[in-house]
Amino acid sequence: MRNNFVIYPEHALIIETFYGPVTIESFMALVEELWVDPAYERTMDVIVDFSGATLAMSPAQLDEFAGKFIHSDRSLIGRAAVIADKPLETALSLLIRDRMQGHQPISVFTTKEAALAFLDKRLSPPSGL
């Protein structure tokens, strides 16, 4: 499957879903595609779902991404809920959470239900998840 995102304007929510190996390049490609979508608003909340993915990026690459993201006037400033259910993905998600502190509130969860509850979002039906 292809990495993708769905924007739910009525819920002020974006769901990004990643599959297979995810490099920093494929991650950034999806982010840049999101930024030019006409429905995108940087104040929206986001769920980043890595449950079907394997992160193929280094901590240094994530740190570089975070630096660029923080200084972009297009980057999200809403809350982020990351779904990571494997040790490496969890560790890298916690690393990016710490790096983004002060710019974007990020929490890491192991289930979609917990991520939705954290963001206080109710999708009916929970499409895209």
The whole model's pTM is what?
A: 0.91
Model confidence over 50-89: pLDDT tens digits? 999 999 999 999 888 888 888 899 999 999 999 999 999 9
Rounded to an integer, what distance in angstroms lies between the CA atom of residue 9 and that of residue 6? 10
Amino acid at residue number 38: P
Task: Tell me what the pLDDT averaged over the chain comes to.
Answer: 92
CATH number of 4-119: 3.30.750.24
CA atoms lying within 13 Å on the CB side of residue 43: 2
**Residue indicated by tokens 């992160």:** 55
